[in-house]
Structure 1
Amino acid sequence: MYLKSLLRCSLLLTVVSPFSGAYAQKQPLRLWYQQPAAAWTDALPLGNGRLGAMVFGGVGVDHLQLNEETLWSGRPRAYSHPGAAQYLQPIRQLLAEGKQAEAEAMGEKYFMGLKDPDDSAYQLQKADWFKSVISQTAPAAVDYNDNNWPTMQLPTPEGWERVGLEGTDGSLWFRTTFNVPAKWLGKDLVLDLGRIRDLDLTYVNGQLVGHDEGISKKRKYTIPASALKEGKNTLAVQVINFFDKGGFIGVKSTARTLVVYPEGGDADTVSLGNTWKYFIQNDTPPALPRYEADYLPFGDLYFRFAHGNNSRDYKRSLDLDSALAKISYSVNGVSYNREYFISAPHQCVVMHLTASKPGALSLQAVLNTPHKKYIVQKIDDHTLSLSLEVSNGVLKAAGYLYATATGGKLTVSDTAINLQQATEASFYLVAATSFKNYKEVSGDPVAVCKAALSRVKGVPYNAIRAAHVSEYRKLFSTFSFTVPAGKNSDLPTNERIRQFNMKDDASLVPTFLMYSRYLLIASSRPGTQPANLQGIWNDLLTPPWGSKYTTNINLQMNYWTAEVLNLSSCTQPLFKMINELAVAGHQTAKDHYDAPGWVLHHNTDLWRGTAPINASNHGIWVTGAAWLCLHIWEHFLYTQDTAFLRVQYPNLQGAAQFFEKFLVKDPKSGYLISTPSNSPEHGGLVAGPTMDHQIIRELFRNCSAAAAVLKTDAAFAERLNTLIPQIAPNKIGKHNQLQEWMEDVDDVNDQHRHISHLWGVFPGSDITWKDSAMMKAARQSLIYRGDGGTGWSLAWKVNVWARFKEGDHALLMIKNLFTPAIDDNGRERGGVYNNLFDAHPPFQIDGNFGGSSGIAEMIIQSHTGVIELLPALPSELPDGEVKGICARGGFVLDITWKQGKLHQVKLVSKNGNTCRLKYGAQEIEVVTKKNGTYVFDSGLNRQ
């Protein structure tokens, strides 16, 4: 019955003229600002799925930070740990005996995946390297000559990487001086340096006064009186970090750091100042063993304009309906305009620059990269190239910058493209890597670049622009969302965020949603890699969480909007990844669980690692593959594409086969449970987390339903149907909550960011209003979790509150998500940055996609086999219109509402399925024809 209900609904997206109503006026779909980007999260993102750029829009100097989707660290290799399966049963036994710590210790030692490079070899190399750098103590001496050292402003909260030393690991020396007054002589002093990444050896006047390791430890050292002298004293700190950020990072509180004061009280202090001299002693530490690879930046393009910074009428914008970034301003009466985009048809970053006065455009274009191994050189009289190699990896990359100009003089050197006294110019950047697939890196990036440029040369700029806009709009224009514009809707985007309230700017809600569609188109196209933790945009060699694919919520959340918001084709990279993960995960299933099928733990990367990583208390989580399989079934439900389902069915089958073997009977309850596993990143290694059971039940149901659609595998489907009721069910605990674990141990004061046990409410359908008691228990659990959280956590809560049919509470989560990510004190928090990027913090793109999915859930829900209209409409969105929203079963709808009530709905049937349509207490069944159109009024009466 469940399958039959779901298969009754379908929709073809069509773009039709807007329904009548004042609220349906055309609203500009753009982000815009009156000043250049001051930070990366102010810059505007461009992308074509493979290439990405962040546009800063500076006047005297413009900066485009560049990405190519296949530029990662690491290499093709084995990830799973042969022989780990022999420890599976002992770990299960320890958990059954309540010995969680012992189970985690065993898992950490014997069950985790393999690192690269080998850990034991690294320890020997690290010891030798460390010994060599700490033995060189000359810079600690008072009379050491540091006259030629550069300076750095301390502290550096984001590490020295953010102040010019991107990619620098190893040993750095820092020096400054401080004055000791006569009244302090004979007293021991306290030296407060705040927190340091990662290890320091601190000297005063050549004497070691302290050392420590760890970013969480605040460095407070005692300087003995005997080491001090009246007047100037020399402080030298050797800071060593082996990977990621390094340096002085201050403290999160308002407490003073970088000060000296007498022991016993800090009322009288001497500041160490902010300007310190530094020296890079050794930046080649041995490569740190890593479980998985990192997504890396490609490089940077700078335009340095001869007209300087003194401009008027500045404006920069990102037009979402054309995927064009624009910058305009005037200098000395001359109007300058720039237009940037990344073309999918021509596979290049395109930059068009013009001046209103002939001969007024003079500039220098420079390519750079944070990678250590790189070469910039002239190719010909129009082309500059950048080639690079990845440190701690095997990939090579190349980029070509090609320029043409109208008027003036164009010259190319080995460092830059120079343009003098032109009227307009066009620049085209192409890039590629040696990546061919997750097993092969024999590609020729130079050949790819040359081929791409050959398709651009000789083609007029306007033709390239027109091809880009036309191709992009075929995707973007399939959906629209309009609400009445408030008085703040015309403000610059950063001001709209800062002043956001629904009365004055409800249209920021559809702007956010349409921006998320733009971001998905820009970061996930057929033939590309899936959108990662940051989509396709990253400027750091050591990005947060590797900017990879976290599969215990974040990768999946990236694709929550794709089907419902009419971007089904953008899911193709995800399914290609699933195909590859199923192959890699088969080996992991064998090595770690002695099981058939395939398994995926909580992270993967370009090389498709599937083994447990990081730490056993959260890395041994087994349902990543099963969760990804939900996207296969959902894609079928929305598209009714049986050919797709036939291709993907082996992945559903393989994931189910794994759990058929993996599930074991719990001796206490008699139910089948998942063990060992965890409730993602919460509560440690356990037996029987609720989320696992919800996901596995849904996998079994969907696999069985898919077999029925394809008329195959009946015996296996029957076995799955037999197992479903044997899996440990959802349970209501003593606090009237949905239990997160088998035991009733939930803490009502726990506001952890993950709401994993609510997976069955959303994105799953294991818990619906058909079981109102369980739904109410889930609601109570979410109340206990609270209304705060990181960006993506808030986004998940939007969806769950919408499934509870509480639109006002879902909108409250959207309001919290729209909180400025930087508070008045400069501290980061969950919310959105000035460019509407989601803040974990730092930036993660999943909150953009997840928040927009929640908005869609307010407007339409179809997960129970019925298309329910406006199930969670917030009272503060009384009027609106969506066109092209999709529902399961193959339907596309245009929906208009006025004064909080449904006004009209237009239904297009993609496949001719029977559809059940519901609004409030009214429900009808519609027998449709393929490509048929059906219009209904507020009472669901056919018009």
Structure 2
Amino acid sequence: MNKHSLLFFMVFLGLQLQAQNTRQLSNTTTLKLWEDKPGKVWMTDAYPIGNGRIGGMVFGGVEQEHIQFNDNTLWTGNETDRGAYQAFGDLFIDFDSSAGFSNYHRELDISKALHQISYQQRGIRFSREYFCSFPDQLMVLRFKANTKGAYSGAIRLKDAHGAQPTVTGNRIQFAGKLGNGMLYQASAQVLLKNGKSSVEANPNGGSQLKIIGADEITILLAGATNFSNSRSTQWRGESPDPKIKRILSAAAEKSYTTLLDRHVKDYQSLFNRMSLDLGKSTLAKVELPTLSRLLDYKNGGDADLEALLFQYGRYLLISSSRKGGLPANLQGLWNDSNNPPWGGDYHTNINIQMNYWPAEPANLSECHIPYLDHINAIREIRKINTQKEYPGVRGWTLRTESNPFGGESYLWNTPGSAWYAQALWEHYAFTKDLNYLKNFAYPILKEISEFWDDHLKRRPDGTVVAPMGWSPEHGPTEDGVTHDQQIIYDLFTNYIESADALGIDKAYRDHIADLRAHLLKPKIGKWGQLQEWETDRDDPKDQHRHVSHLFGLHPGREISTIKTPELAKAAKVSLLARGDASTGWSMAWKINFWARLQDGDHAHQIIQNFITPVGVAGIDYNNGGGIYANLFCAHPPFQIDGNFGYTAGIAEMLIQSQTDEIQVLPALPKAWPNGKVKGLKARGNFEILNLEWKDGKVNLLEIKSLGGADCKLRLPSKLKSVQKIAAVAIADDYQYTFPTQVGQKYTFSL
């Protein structure tokens, strides 16, 4: 082999190895957040773990590990006082060594919901592994080293409400009672491999556990309250102590490997339903720590980071909302304050609703259940409160701020219950579960419709308007506000279709249909905008963060580019006037708006704005929206709805089904010329098994019918059907309409 041939071979081999490394990195690092230094700030640096009820924020310190933890049932307040979501406590491990360290690495692997830390100190390699298990209902922390006897230090708990911790054997514990009578308790069971333990005084009061010369440490952390999600028991149930004893006793009988395997299996049963590839990023970008990657994002983009943020939203929903528990609040379930912004409440004028936008399309239907259960749980107290404010009406509505007990505060948000009702309908629309619709959703849809039947104002000309409404969160209070009209239209549409699906209540169904027909319709104003109010007073220079009058575009279905093109055009004019920059959650909503307008490039521009690193943690209504180093959405401050809205927005860009058809790649931006997605859901109980596109065109679609409903597809290009389904040209698209069988896969390809 001559020198030129050898040089060519070496270059070729190098390129092959680089390509192999790129592939390996894309498979192993793109579902991870990581940094090369410990976290310092709770809101911006620490990484979240959770199991839908309890959760923690992990700092990863070397001299001191700090995990701030929560239980999402710990609230002050009651049925008449909104109260606030509370911090629960902190776990500290103070290590004896203060020597320097190197090769530090901490990561959150969202493919496994696993937090790992490693570093070198005194010539010893230390490693840690943390997770929060749903099947075993506790947090598990494991500390290892490659040298025996490497761990010495003190382990202590701190109660966020001041109770002093005690130590019995190797169990550290605190317990207390809030002013509303709620009992709470946290217990940390410390398991050692070799080494010694003893009880000593905690410098902050109470006791702590001293560890000397342990090879390994495993901590089982459990927390609980006596909350019960039932008004019939006055929102109280079993005391926390026996719950925690059962949890710790059951966990102690399992090996660490068994606990980890059970956790990963449970988590991946939800997370692994979906995968997303929006294009490969460069090796240089993928290798960067997460904060550096955010800072570098504007330098040429990072499609892999955009996909990571999508999956991070799914991770956060799984971690903060599991069946049998409470819904995700303004901060999911992570909170380090007893007086968090807006009380860490269930905010009813978009925020809790946005939390659940991705639940159904991103194939996490079970994670939707806590929100639906909450709606059902607070119905009776809502009826009592509504009767006091609006005597003589049937049904119920609510105020803007609320808690798990039905307590509420701030302004009456009269269309709020109708917006809640949309979630009830959406769960049915995606699952087609008639039993759920009949026995759970329909009675609530009907009673909320009855409220509006009684509350609406009939004008002499036959027009029906919502009285004295407000377009959140600005402008006058008056009749016929567009936001209210669109939400009521959505409620009535969902009720009508529910009655039709069940074949019941025809007389009342027809009455509601007549009311819907007479609702004041959306109006187009003097500068081509969709009017926010019945009076044409919209200011083209108004850039308020809320765009409430576009509810009918998203998440409603009254406005679409296909069925109501003139209204869609007016919505676009309004959206352009509002501008692209805003708070974090507002930008997330705008991604969804532009996706529904089928403008993928503008939706992607909002994505680029959203992926802006933010350093401030205070409240800012006007500027500074984006994301923190830990990928939490910054309002600022942290609000989790922006993370969920972002995930929903990308789903809308790839698949839409809010009309009577499934649209494939309705808003694909030029920035994603090649990609693939597996596992998205569409209304009608269809699953997108596989969708691949190249050079901006679909080359493979595999869709599975889970319910046997008729299917209508709209594709941007003509494909061949394995089942010989004929295509019908419609405008610039192609439509395929066909009956399906339960469990059958239908394939379309070039």
The one-letter code sitting in structure 1 at the alignment partner of 2:714 is K
Residue aligning to 1:368: 158
Tell whether the 8 Å contact from 1:23 to 1:880 is kept in structure 2 after alignment. Answer: no
Q: How does 1:49-448 map to 2 (within 5 A)?
A: 49-75=52-78, 77=79, 79=80, 116=81, 292-308=82-98, 310-372=100-162, 374-378=163-167, 380-390=168-178, 392-413=179-200, 414-437=206-229, 438=231, 439-441=234-236, 443-448=238-243
Q: Which residue in the other structure is 1:563 paired with?
A: 360
- Which structure has the larger Rg over C-alpha atoms? 1
Native 8 Å contact 1:645 1:706 kept in 2: yes
Question: Corresponding residue for 2:397?
Answer: 599
Q: Distance in 2 between matches of 1:296 and 1:919?
A: 48
Is 1:927 the counterpart of 2:739? The answer is: yes
Question: 1:24 and 1:56, CA in 2 relative to 1: closer, same or farther beyond 3 A?
Answer: closer
Displacement of 1:784 after TM fit? 0.8
Distance in 2 between the 1:754 and 1:50 partners?
30
State the Cα deviation string for residues 508-558 of structure 1 (Å, max 9, x = none): 111000000000000000011000000000001110010011011000000
Pick from 600, 605, 608 the counterpart of residue 406 of structure 2: 608
* Cα distance in 2, alignment partners of residues 440 and 755 from structure 1: 36
What's the offset of the Cα at 1:309?
5.2
What residue in structure 1 maps to residue 669 of structure 2? Answer: 874
Q: Match for 1:596: what amino acid?
A: R
Identity of aligned residues (%): 39
Query: What's the CA shift for 1:24?
Result: 12
Partner of 1:780: 573
Query: Aligned equivalents of 2:86 and 2:386: distance in 1?
Result: 29
**CA shift for structure 1 position 501:** 3.4
Q: Is the 8 A contact 2:499 2:509 kept in 1?
A: yes
In 2: Cα distance, 1:901 partner to 1:530 partner? 38
Answer yes or no: is the 8 Å Cα contact 2:275–2:677 preserved in 1.
yes
Determine which structure has greater relative contact order: mean sequence separation of CA pairs < 8 Å that are 6+ residues apart, divided by chain length: 1
> In structure 1, the residue corresponding to 2:687 is in which secondary structure?
strand
| Structure-2 separation of matches of 1:383 and 1:910 | 48
Cα-to-partner distance string for 1:686-744 (whole Å, 9 max, x where unaligned): 22210111111111111111011111111110100111111110001111110111111
SS at match of 2:165: strand
- Give the Cα–Cα distance (whole angstroms) in 2 for the partners of residues 759 and 566 of structure 1: 23
Q: How many residues align?
A: 695
| Number of the residue aligned with 1:36 | 38
1:934 Cα deviation from its structure 2 partner? 1.4
Task: Determine the structure 2 residue equivalent to 1:846.
Answer: 641
Matching residue of 2:728: none
Q: How far apart are residue 504 of structure 1 and its match? A: 4.7
Aligned partner of 1:202 in structure 2 is: none
Deviation at 1:39, TM superposition (A): 0.5
What is residue 270 of structure 2 aligned with on the other side? 475
* SS of residue matched to 2:207: coil
Amino acid of the structure 1 residue aligned with 2:164: I
Q: Which residue of 2 aligns with 1:688?
A: 480
Task: Show the counterpart of 1:895.
Answer: 691
Is this contact kept in 2: 1:480–1:884, CA < 8 A? yes
Q: Distance in 1 between matches of 2:228 and 2:568?
A: 47
SS in 1 for 2:660: coil
- Native 8 Å contact 2:158 2:164 kept in 1: no
Deviation at 1:670, TM superposition (A): 4.7
In the other structure, the counterpart of 1:834 is: 629
Judged with a 3 Å threshold, the aligned counterparts in structure 2 of structure 1 residues 496 and 826 are, in CA distance, closer, same or farther, namely farther
* Partner amino acid, structure 1, of 2:635: H
CA distance in 2, matches of 1:824, 1:398: 29
Secondary structure of 1:303 counterpart: strand
Q: What CA distance in whole angstroms lies between the structure 1 residues aligned with 2:535 and 2:244?
A: 58
Deviations 1:321-364 (A, max 9, x none): 11010110010110000101111111111000001101111121
Q: TM-score, normalised by structure 2?
A: 0.90
Deviation at 1:621, TM superposition (A): 2.3
Amino acid of the residue matched to residue 419 of structure 1?
I
Gaps of 5+ in 1: 1-20, 80-115, 117-291, 939-943
Distance 1:825 1:559, change over 3 A: closer
> Aligned partners of 2:435 and 2:237: how far apart in 1?
32
In the TM superposition, residue 25 of structure 1 has moved relative to its aligned partner by 5.9
Q: Is the 8 A contact 2:619 2:635 kept in 1?
A: no
The one-letter code sitting in structure 1 at the alignment partner of 2:58 is V
Deviation at 1:928, TM superposition (A): 1.5
Structure 1 residues 825 and 442, CA gap change in structure 2 (3 angstroms): closer
- 8 A Cα contact 2:675 2:693, kept in partner: yes
Distance 1:599 1:415, change over 3 A: same
In the other structure, the counterpart of 1:718 is 510
Query: Residue 806 of structure 1 aligns with which residue?
Result: 599
Question: Could you tell me which amino acid in structure 2 is paired with residue 34 of structure 1?
Answer: D
Q: 1:740 aligns with which of 528, 532, 536?
A: 532
The structural deviation recorded for 1:681 is: 1.5
Contact 2:323 2:369 in 1 (8 A): yes
Query: Cα gap change, 1:442/1:802 in structure 2, threshold over 3 Å: closer, same or farther?
Result: closer
The CA deviation at 1:502 is: 7.5
Alignment of 1:396-795 (within 5 A): 396-413=183-200, 414-437=206-229, 438=231, 439-441=234-236, 443-487=238-282, 488-501=285-298, 503-594=300-391, 595-609=393-407, 613-614=409-410, 619-646=411-438, 647-666=440-459, 670-769=462-561, 770-795=563-588
Distance in 2 (alpha carbons) for counterparts of 1:791 and 1:492? 22
Helix, strand or coil for the counterpart of 2:211? strand
The offset of 1:393, in angstroms, is 3.0
- Distance in 2, matches of 1:632 and 1:556, equals 11
C-alpha separation in 2, matches of 1:430 and 1:930: 42
AA aligned to 2:52 is G
Which string of whole-angstrom CA distances, capped at 9 and with x for unpartnered residues, describes residues 649-680 of structure 1? 1000000000000001246x652111122111
1:609, CA displacement in angstroms?
Answer: 2.5
User: Any idea what SS the aligned residue of 1:35 has?
Assistant: coil
Q: Which amino acid aligns with 1:608?
A: G
Other structure's SS at 1:455 match = helix
SS of 2:508 mapped into structure 1? helix
Task: Quote how far apart the aligned CAs of 1:898 are.
Answer: 1.0
1:23 and 1:699 mapped to 2: Cα distance? 48
- Matched residues in 1 for 2:339 and 2:664: separation? 45
Q: Equivalents in 2 of 1:822, 1:559: separation in Å?
A: 27
Distance 1:889 1:440 in 2: 36
Q: Structure 1 CA distance, aligned partners of 2:120 and 2:359?
A: 40
Cα pair 2:56 2:67 within 8 Å, conserved: yes
**SS of the residue aligned with 1:675?**
coil
Counterparts of 1:826 and 1:542, CA distance in 2: 14
Q: 8 Å contact 1:486–1:503 — kept in the other structure?
A: no
- Structure 2: how far apart are the matches of 1:25 and 1:336? 26
What per-residue deviation string (whole Å, max 9, x for no partner) do you get for residues 42-98 of structure 1?
A: 1000000010100000011010001011111113x3x4xxxxxxxxxxxxxxxxxxx
User: Structure 1 residues 824, 931: CA separation in 2 closer, same or farther (over 3 Å shift)?
Assistant: closer
Distance 1:567 1:825, change over 3 A: closer
1:26 correspondence with 2:24? no
Moved more, 455-464 or 622-631: 455-464
Report the CA distance shift for 1:27/1:408 in structure 2 as closer, same or farther (over 3 A). closer
Instruction: Give the CA RMSD over aligned residues.
Output: 1.9
For residues 589 and 825 of structure 1, the distance between their equivalents in structure 2, rounded to whole angstroms, comes to 34
Identify the residue that residue 912 of structure 1 maps to in structure 2: 708
Amino acid at match of 1:435: F
TM (norm. structure 1) is 0.72
Contact 2:632–2:640 (Cα < 8 Å) also in 1: yes
Cα deviation, residue 582, structure 1: 2.0
Alignment partner of 1:375: what SS?
coil
Once the 2 structures are TM-superposed, how far is the Cα of residue 588 of structure 1 from its aligned partner? 2.4
Task: Tell me, yes or no, if the aligned pair for 1:621 and 1:676 is still in contact at 8 Å.
Answer: no
Q: Partner of 2:679: helix, strand, or coil?
A: strand
